[in-house]
Structure 1
Amino acid sequence: MVGTLRTFWLALAVTVALIAVPGGAASADPKPSNGTVASGRTAGADWSVTRRGQGDTWRVKLRLPQPVVFRAALPQIAVDGRVIGVAERAADGRTISLLTSNARVVKAKKVQLAWNGAVAGAGSQNYQASARTAQAAAPVGPVLEEDPAAPGPYGVERADYDLGDTAVRLAGLRGQAVEMRAAVYLPKGAEGARPVAVFLHGMHQFCYGKTTGTPAINWPCTKGMKPVPSYLGYESPAKALASHGYAVVSISANGVNATLDESAPDAGTQARGELVLAHLDQLRQWVSDSDSQLSGRLDLSNVGLMGHSRGGEGVVTAAALNSARPSPYGIRAVLPLAPTDFARNTLPGAAMAVILPYCDGDVSDQQGQHFYDDSRYAGKDNVLRTTLTMLGANHNFFNTEWTPATSKAGSFDDWGDKKDPVCGRKAPGRLSPKQQQAVGAAYLSGFFRLNLGDEQQFLPMFDGTNGRAKSAGQAVVYTQAQQPSASRTDLASFALPKASVTTSKAASYCAGAGNPPSKDKRLLPACAKSDGWSTDFPHWVPSYFAPDVPTTSVARLKWTTKTKPRTLVSIKASSPTAREALTFRAATLSSKAGLDVTVTDRSGAKATVSVAKVSNALSPLPRLQGSAKVIMQTVRIPLTSFKGVDPGAIAQVSFARASKTGDVVLADLALDTPSSVIGGPTALPAASIGDQIVFERNKSQRVRIPVNLSRPSSVPVVVNVDTNIMYGEGRVPAKWVKVTFPAGKTKAVAEIRMRGNRKAEPLARLDMTLSAPRNAIVGDPWGILTVYDDDTA
């Protein structure tokens, strides 16, 4: 991700002289350049729509009565109730704006702030089905004999450091200086270098106190203000790990938070990754310094990263940046906690556990699910991947400094609806702050002890067998798990039709959620209906910076009482190695559904198991504001459950309807045995997109965007390029381009079509995003297409 940084806000005006091309025709458009075409006031907020040049692009500006709250999700602007794009926040904190080619803004009657596709404060609660909102039953699993968060044999000592508010400059912030500050927790008296876990907090208010006459966005904090100590909010898991012999470094990222809206092209993602590596660089110096308190005490060849909120995307980025280094640190495990995923990055090589709080009122679309979905087959590796959906948990309360009653600065419950029967403050299934922090400590401690210390007793918490920690109490946690490749035999991903998979008329393949259906013939039909952005479908929610790139594709089984035959899909199977269980991911798109799974061996013996007897994956999740989220769970059926079948000679697996009606999605059918292998930096090449400069011309033309690999690959590499962020400049329509590098090749192009016109328009800088690579990692994902107009004004 080092290199040219893209313009974050699409088509920002650049104050340079336009180049006039001889022969260009002047536009006869009667509307004045930069003229206001609509304006008004909505709920105390002033707004305007202003035309940009003579072309079909408008700036929509909204000034709110109060500053926009700092949170992980990016602010959006909705026109007449429909979100049109991500907005830029001005330095005053109250004004947001965007550029769009969506002509509906010309006739705007209302302009409002929105988050995650929903208008802020729209009051969309619907409790008509409150009888069906009861807390779901916890997956059945053993309580572990050892609790990962229980105090260990070591005392805990601190070795905090603070090098000042402007100690390091980050390329991801265009050289902006930020703080180098961290809390360090060490096992007292432990001999030798210890495994290191680095914690990175996310987007939150960065200064607190009283001041007047200063901008809302400012770093360092102005007189009368103090930095919010967000980095001190993870003390419980830090102490638990340190007491068991691990070193924990929790770093401050207030400077990134304070400057990203004005300086960062990617909402601070690259800067957060760079900040993590800058701290590791500093720690390496101290480890080598015999006079340092940290001398010889940290093992930087055995590192784990936890990132909360935007920090989750930051630590995934740090792992990718680290892998591209000549001498990378040994980053072996990454835990994104309630993360954002604005650009569809992938994480091959390192063990991963994504935590999705079901009552997340900030990243309410659970977009972090993409880290799991996109990394499953991103490259050949041998690590355990997990997603943990935690019912009753919100976004903020994992951090005590983001929790009322324990924070020094201001904080709040991000799930704002107090009366919600599932996530409201008094809902039976809602976790209290202490309960949520206990769950977080258990899973953070267990994850790093498993993946840095190879403490296999904690494997059941992450491998899909639903092991539970005593300190997590009655928390309900649903699991998705993909075992390491060495202990897994993949039978069918259900991403696309396959010769070994036979489907009935009731089975199809789908991806995404939308209405109406896409006109792009390359895309599969939508799995569910959605009027734009929806928080109900984490697997299929569009990415902020790559909204046109296809999301997770699955098999959809939809049947009624008239559906024939009873068998919906069957899969030819073979396993050269005996495995322990048959596994797949599943969820229901409607009411509770029933499926029977039949396994047949090579001798013809067969046996059937009902999914309902081993999993509640086909029961709807609790309803939030009138609808239930669709999040797949791993269904795990021990092969010993298929009585009379030879588990080492499986020949076929089939799914048949076991209820009158049903609408189910399936993914990732495999035979596996639970295991955990220590990961490490991947050796895959890095894929990067370049910039391009073109003259508009009056006719359509093909534009070739360079895409490069850092080194040749022995297998083909596939990357996805998106030519804009959700809304374009008009001349370049939203476009998804799939780019393939043949084995051994390092150069390719993404070809897009650009429309020409005879209207005089300002210089345009259009964003391009490279995302979701396969057999590669993300290098520099941001490209800029600069378009010079050839029409005189």
Structure 2
Amino acid sequence: MIRARRVWATAIAVLTVAGVSPAVAYAQPQPPHVTPVTAANDDDLPPGWQITNTEGEQALEWRSPRPVPVGDARVEFHADGKLVGVPEPEKDGRTFRLPLSDARTSDLADLQVLASGRRLDQKADGARDRRSPSAAKPPAKLPAGSVDPGKPGTYRTVTGEYALDSIRLPGLSAPVEMRGVVVAPKDAKGKRPVALFLHGRHSTCYVPGSDQPDIDWPCAKGAKPIPSHRGYLRDQELLASQGYVTVSISANGINGQDGNIEDAGAQARSSLVRTHLARWADWAAKPATAPAAVRKAPKADLSRVLLVGHSRGGEGVNRAAMDSLY
């Protein structure tokens, strides 16, 4: 049966600050019995939809006219304003299939494909659903501070990367990589605060020369990991110029395996964040054991840690902050 996931919504979490109050979307209870669907054949379904039969198992299938980008929001089938179920994506990134034995309703009227409330499919007349939530009212402007955090600081920066042995995390069958890109202030004196970045849920692998990425893990033969952890380089350089030691870590191994995990991989991301920080604590105590990219940086002050993430990376760093507090 279908499992809903808990979503911890956050953008930035600071390790040393308590009182985090994430929003939680709780799973809806499953009905004990579902009657056969009312749509008897494909003629009863909108364009792009069909009912398939593979080895005696019927499934509700929707095929998108274009690839659906990988994201943090799960794709859901809805009918008549109610959740039908969470389909499984196929390798092509366009086809989504839900066994009818897992459907929560027998009524397939007004079928829709939604992701975080956003309509993905087209209406029968070919027009897209243009409904959108009303724009949020911007908060009142605060007085300008004496220091502009978006302005580069006085330090020059140095950049490097490290790759450690992969680790195993509970709930994941394949080991997860331990990779990080480090940007730090050059010639900064004393211990420096640390900023750790965690990227969101994106495609994990690509084949050189192809424009069709996938979300497998480990990457198939001939494919290479997508270096999503390098996407924060501009922000890292900014903070490093202001005196922070920064590291952005890779989470492809979790992104490629979190599809059927109850918490969407939040606990695994927390474990990955805390494992990296534990290594940094070891390196601060024994600098000679650190990778070259870390040795080039000033000594890290693990009592002052800023965690930054977006999308599921935000969920992960928020979870890591709470796990560290408790």
Output the CA distance in 1 between the equivalents of 2:111 and 2:59.
8
| CA–CA separation in structure 2 for the residues paired with 1:138 and 1:323 | 30
Deviation at 1:289, TM superposition (A): 2.8
What do residues 53-101 of structure 1 show as CA deviations (whole Å, max 9, x unaligned)?
xxxxx98632425554211211111124x24055142453433426657
Maintained 8 Å contact 1:203/1:309: yes
Q: Which residue of 2 aligns with 1:73?
A: 73
1:192 corresponds to which residue? 190
1:279 is aligned to 2:273:
no
Tell me the secondary structure at the aligned position of residue 218 of structure 2: coil
Distance 1:102 1:152 in 2: 55
What fraction of aligned residue pairs are identical, expressed as a percent?
34
Structure 1 residues 108, 267: CA separation in 2 closer, same or farther (over 3 Å shift)? same
| 1:181 counterpart = 2:175 | no
Alpha-carbon distance in 2 for matches of 1:321, 1:46: 44
Distance 2:215 2:60 in 1: 18
User: Is the 8 Å Cα contact of residues 60 and 97 (structure 1) preserved in structure 2?
Assistant: yes
Letter in 2 for 1:77: F
Q: Deviations over 1:206-233 (max 9, x none)?
A: 2223589x99542122234332222111
1:717-736 matches, within 5 Å, as none
Q: Is the 8 A contact 1:8 1:266 kept in 2?
A: no
> Equivalents in 2 of 1:86, 1:202: separation in Å?
24
Paired residues for 1:279-358 under 5 Å: 279-291=276-288, 292=290, 293=292, 294=294, 297-324=299-326
The corresponding residue for 1:163 is: 164
User: Normalising to structure 1: TM-score of the pair?
Assistant: 0.32
Q: How much has 1:138 moved relative to structure 2?
A: 7.7
- The normalised TM-score by structure 2 is 0.71
Q: Secondary structure at the match of 2:51?
A: strand
AA of the residue aligned to 1:247: V
Q: Structure 1 pair 281/112, CA: closer, same or farther in 2 (3 Å)? A: same
After TM superposition, the structure 1 = structure 2 runs for residues 460-475 of structure 1, keeping only pairs within 5 Å, are none
Find the aligned partners of 1:223 and 1:174 in 2 and give their Cα distance: 20
The residue type equivalent to 2:164 in the other structure is L
> 1:265 Cα shift?
2.3
Offset of residue 176 of structure 1: 2.8
In structure 2, how many angstroms separate the alpha carbons of the residues matched to 1:193 and 1:95?
51
Shift of 1:202: 0.6
- Please say if residues 62 and 112 of structure 1, whose CA atoms lie closer than 8 Å, have aligned partners that are also in contact: no
Task: Return the offset for 1:305.
Answer: 0.6
> Take 2:267 and 2:40, find their aligned partners in 1: how far apart are those partners?
37
Please list the CA deviations of residues 520-543 of structure 1 after superposition, one character each: whole Å capped at 9, or x if unmatched: xxxxxxxxxxxxxxxxxxxxxxxx
User: Equivalent residue of 2:272, what SS?
Assistant: helix
* Residue deviations 1:132-185 (CA, integer Å, cap 9, x gap): 98x978834433332112221211112311236xx11111x3343121111111
What is the identity, as a one-letter code, of the residue corresponding to 2:300? Answer: L
Once the two structures are superposed, residues 743-788 of structure 1 have per-residue CA deviations (whole angstroms, 9 ceiling, x without a partner) of xxxxxxxxxxxxxxxxxxxxxxxxxxxxxxxxxxxxxxxxxxxxxx
Answer yes or no: is the 8 Å Cα contact 2:38–2:108 preserved in 1: no
What's 2:3 paired with? 9
Paired amino acid for 1:158: T
Change in CA separation of 1:211 and 1:160 when aligned onto 2, cut-off 3 Å: closer
Q: 1:259 to 1:38 in 2, by over 3 A?
A: farther
Corresponding residue for 1:147? 148
Return the alpha-carbon distance in structure 2 between the equivalents of residues 302 and 91 of structure 1: 43
Q: How does 1:427-576 map to 2 (within 5 A)?
A: none
Cα offset for 1:314?
1.0
Please report how far the alpha carbon of residue 201 of structure 1 lies from its aligned counterpart in structure 2 after TM superposition: 0.7
Does the aligned pair in 2 maintain the 1:287–1:298 contact within 8 Å?
A: yes
C-alpha contact (below 8 Å) 1:193/1:298 kept by paired residues? yes
Tell me the equivalent position of 1:230.
228
The whole-number CA distance in structure 2 between the counterparts of 1:233 and 1:215 is 17
- Corresponding residue SS for 1:233: helix
Give the number of equivalent residue pairs.
278
Distance in 2, Cα, partners of 1:253 & 1:137: 33
**Is the counterpart of residue 46 in structure 1 residue 36 in structure 2?**
no
Counterpart of 2:168 in 1: which secondary structure? strand
Instruction: From the superposition, tell whether residues 245 and 230 of structure 1 become closer, same or farther in structure 2 (CA, over 3 Å).
Output: same
Alignment of 1:11-160 (within 5 A): 38-40=40-42, 41-47=45-51, 61-65=60-64, 67-80=67-80, 82-84=81-83, 87-90=86-89, 92=91, 93=93, 94-97=95-98, 102-103=104-105, 105=106, 107-109=107-109, 111-122=111-122, 123-125=128-130, 139-160=140-161
Cα distance in structure 1, aligned partners of 2:154 and 2:311: 32
Unaligned runs of 5+ in 2: 5-32, 123-127
For residues 119 and 148 of structure 1, do their structure 2 counterparts lie closer, same or farther at Cα, with a shift above 3 Å needed? closer
Deviations 1:301-331 (A, max 9, x none): 221111101111111111122233xxxxxxx
Q: If each structure's helix is expressed as a fraction of its own residues, which one has the higher value?
A: 2
Query: Out of 195, 198, 201, which is 2:199 matched to?
Result: 201
Q: What secondary structure does 1:70 align onto?
A: coil
Mapped to 1, the partners of 2:3 and 2:139 lie a distance apart of 43
- Structure 1 or 2, whichever has the larger Rg, is 1
1:642-721 aligned at under 5 Å gives the runs none
Counting strand residues as a fraction of each chain, which structure ranks higher?
1
User: CA 1:78–1:138 in structure 2 vs 1: closer, same or farther (change >3 Å)?
Assistant: closer
Tell me what 1:584 maps to: none
Tell whether the 8 Å contact from 2:85 to 2:103 is kept in structure 1 after alignment: no
